[in-house]
A and B are shown apart, each in its own frame.
Chain A
Amino acid sequence: APAGSLNIGLGGAVTTIDPHFFNATPNQVIAHCLFDRLTERSPSGRLEPGLALSWKAVTPTVWEMKLRPNVKWSDGKPFTADDVLFTINRARNVPNSPGGFSGFLRDIAKAERVDDLTLRLVTPAPAPNLPAQLAFVAIVSRHAGEGASTDDYNAGRKTIGTGPYKLVKYVPGDRVELERNDAWWGPKQPWQTVTFRLIPNPAARVSALLAGGVDVIDDVPPADLPNLSKNKAVHVASIPGMRLIFLALNFKAKTGSKWATDTDGKPLAKNPMLDRRVRLALSESINRTAIADRLMQKTAVATGQWLPPGAYSYANSVKVPPYDVGEAKKLLAEAGFPQGFKLTLQTPNDRYPNDAGVAQAVAQMWSRIGVQTTVDARPWNVYQRERDDYMAALWGWGSPTLEAGYLLSNVLETPDKSKGHGVFNFGNYSNPQLDSLTDKAMSTLDDGTREKLLVEAVEMASRDVAMIPLLQMSNFWATRVGYVMTPRMDERTLPINVAPEAAK
């Protein structure tokens, strides 16, 4: 590739250029290049100023933000608070959008312009996570975006951003070509042109890298990591990610089902998952390290919670559950299953990295303590259908806010549609104590106090084995020699994080 140009092979599919149409990582990657956000994440996950230079809560329910001055849109017009107001409105109302962005703006009841560079956001309740959530919403210009449809963005007609790059061409399913925005307010970018090529097939992606067709690939297939790491022509970059693979258990059923039977195949009289000892046995019988190291080839690490160590609200007291077959068998016997039982573990087979493989490995291990486990792997679209009835199911959860509360309120809180609690709590785990602790933490603005509360909640959930956390996924990139990539916790593959390698 000619100097100053960067080719990136993306595993995911870019489905649109409209930054508010569909929230998927590849779309976010493109939006990240073309637009800026009020707040930004550093590669390691720190919250940093973006188009907003600073923010503070003037009252518990009002955030005030100071905007960056002298920012220009790529067509030369100045950026003002008006654009932000327009964006907040637009992102919630994109026609035909399958959604995805209103969640980040859910906490904003009202947005007010104070002056050209000052903004007030009113929330119905204290919303400590709002600045973090705003790191997901690309700010688009009012003058170009008014009345603009998704098609207009895709065609590049209205794709006016303040970001480091400008759109040259978008070929659906194939590629996105960008060129440098020399007027960007940030540091000067080394790449004159950037091309994202969509290469969903992992092997093809790797061979494209090896063949020199692309300089950077994301989503490196685990199987290739050992070889790529050895390869002198390639660098591998990795960072622990924010995505957790866990097993959700069924707390809703009173009895067993076709998916939880005694050893003769008759549904169990009592739902075994309601017994903490069973849950603990299931958790302790899993050799997480083996799965992470052997099966996942170190693309994941064993975990007992859902954030990487060192992250905000990480509970140091909660360790990776010990792998102890003897203890697990004992617990099972205590719970009244000395003979074990039969269980079906559900898993998608096209959603998370090696999802079905992980489920099988878990099933192996469960079978060894007498829980004869069958794995039922389904494509994601079919997998969803019966998700409320699964006895044990494998899911993944990312915490984009990089704090524990996001998972607590969505995955572990008692489901409550009106409050929007527990939307991902398909097993119906319900612990009033945990609920109130979570609610309290989520309305506490003070970071220190909030962290304490969150850690307490994490400890409580793990004591009760509310779910079985398995793996914390790491993010991997590979670049050709001559390119260095600063890995990002949020999985995005951004040209601003790629630099030419300093000659040695």
Chain B
Amino acid sequence: MEPAISPVSDSQRALGAPETPWRRFYRAFTGSKLAVAGLVLFVAIALIAVFAPLLAAQNPYDLAQLDVLDGRMKPLTKASSGALTYWLGTDDQGRDILSGIFYGLRISLSVGLVSAFIGALIGSSLGLTAAYFGRRVDSVIMRLVDLQLSFPTILIALMILAFLGKGVVNVVIALVIAEWAAYARTARGAALVERHKEYVEAAEALAIPSAKIIFRHLLPNCLPPLIVIATVQVARAIALEATLSFLGVGVPVTEPSLGLLIANGYQYMLSGEYWISFFPGIALLLVIVSINLIGDQLRDVLNPRGQE
């Protein structure tokens, strides 16, 4: 049975106003209030991250602006200098938690997004290539994937750290190395299905070069699962960065990401100075949940069965 053959709806499309895939996508996406809420939340968070320097009362990365004597202040206390109020308290260095969260969002988000993007780029290229050429190319790439998957990320992160020193860029590199395999597997899986569809054969019959077939024909058709994976991976990358920071191999201590803020405050958790860890934790939670909400809806929208 050809599930899609229904000239009725086809003709309706042919007759009605041409609806671009994007518009259709928009309509489907906005179908879920939860997802829209997630999107709004994410946009808000992204804006905060972008405009953090304008919004934050303090530059938490400028050590000269911090004062150890203001360390571990409760939420809503005034700074000893009187210049600002610590709405969410301070950490042990006297860093304003709210400002820290704003700036930390910047780091966490950019680390997450950039690493997911680069990982997606590398991973899906490799996955598509593996699926398209098959055989030896496939074996080699998939063994690389295996290798990656059985390698603890922490060890990779340490090696990167040793090779390149500490820094946000190096964390991104570590995350990319940790993440590309997921994309490669997904892309390969999707492409293996697409690869045997007749439009690919048609392109071959038309002597279209392999690179073009891979990137112009296969890639766009493998995008839905990749986009879904990407949202999950962004969230995963942010969480992983937090974990790496927790284990002491993440971003530089003086420029804490959300994860590092949490990790730093962790020792104060039991002693009642909960805010150091708690509020960044909530921020991290919001980020990841908003991304996942979006990803969830994407999954439903991009899945052809899920429509209507």
> Do A's and B's CB atoms come within 8 Å in the complex?
yes
Contact (Cβ within 8 A) A207 B270: yes
Contacts A203-B266, A361-B68 given; indicate if A374 touches B272 (C-beta within 8 A): no
Contact (Cβ within 8 A) B68 A223: no
Interface of B is mostly: loop
Query: Within residues 326 to 353 of chain A, which ones have a CB less than 8 A from any CB in chain B?
Result: 349-350
A259 to B60, CA, bound (A): 22
A379 to B267, CA, bound (A): 18
From A364-372, A404-412, A471-479, the one touching the partner chain is: A364-372
| A144 close to chain B: CB less than 8 A | no
In this complex, which of A377, A382, A385 has the most chain B Cβ atoms within 10 angstroms of its Cβ? A382
| B269 close to chain A: CB less than 8 A | yes
**1/0 per position for B183-209, CB-CB distance to A under 8 A?**
000000000000000000000000000
In this complex, which of A291, A361, A381 has the most chain B Cβ atoms within 10 angstroms of its Cβ? A361
Contact (Cβ within 8 A) B254 A378: no
Contacts of B249 in A (CB 8 A): 379
Interface of A is mostly: helix
Cβ-defined partner of A367 (8 Å) among B64, B72, B92: B64
Contact (Cβ within 8 A) A382 B161: yes
Contact (Cβ within 8 A) B270 A206: yes
* Identity of the chain A residue whose Cβ is nearest the Cβ of B269 in the assembled complex: A203
| A91 close to chain B: CB less than 8 A | no
* Identity of the chain B residue whose Cβ is nearest the Cβ of A373 in the assembled complex: B63
Contact (Cβ within 8 A) A202 B254: no
Contact (Cβ within 8 A) B64 A364: yes
| B66 close to chain A: CB less than 8 A | yes
Report the minimal beta-carbon distance from A220 to chain B, rounded to whole angstroms.
11
Contacts A202-B267, A367-B63 given; indicate if A294 touches B71 (C-beta within 8 A): yes
| A295 close to chain B: CB less than 8 A | yes
Contact (Cβ within 8 A) A357 B93: yes
Contacts of B225 in A (CB 8 A): none
| A78 close to chain B: CB less than 8 A | no
Contact (Cβ within 8 A) A360 B166: no
A324 to B273, CA, bound (A): 31
Contacts of B272 in A (CB 8 A): 227
Cβ-defined partner of B268 (8 Å) among A223, A373, A375: A223
Contact (Cβ within 8 A) B68 A295: yes
Contact (Cβ within 8 A) B64 A349: no
Contacts of B271 in A (CB 8 A): 221, 223-224, 226-227
Query: Within residues 375 to 390 of chain A, which ones have a CB less than 8 A from any CB in chain B?
Result: 375-379, 381-382, 385
Contact (Cβ within 8 A) B270 A294: no
- Smallest CB-CB A-B distances: 8 pairs: A367-B64, A361-B68, A223-B271, A377-B253, A223-B268, A223-B267, A364-B63, A224-B271
A and B contact pairs by CB, cutoff 8 A, 25 listed = A222-B267, A223-B267, A224-B270, A227-B272, A294-B72, A295-B93, A357-B93, A357-B264, A360-B93, A360-B253, A360-B254, A363-B63, A364-B66, A364-B67, A364-B94, A367-B64, A373-B63, A375-B252, A375-B253, A376-B165, A377-B166, A377-B248, A378-B161, A378-B166, A382-B161
Q: Give residues in B with beta carbon < 8 Å to A.
A: 62-64, 66-69, 71-72, 92-94, 158, 161-162, 165-166, 248-249, 252-254, 264, 266-273
Q: Give residues in A with beta carbon < 8 Å to B.
A: 202-203, 206-207, 221-224, 226-227, 287, 290-291, 294-295, 349-350, 354, 356-357, 359-361, 363-365, 367-368, 372-379, 381-382, 385
Beyond known contacts A203-B269, A357-B264: 20 more, CB 8 A cutoff: A203-B270, A221-B271, A290-B68, A290-B69, A294-B69, A295-B68, A295-B93, A350-B248, A357-B92, A360-B63, A360-B66, A361-B68, A363-B63, A364-B67, A364-B93, A367-B63, A372-B64, A378-B166, A379-B158, A379-B161
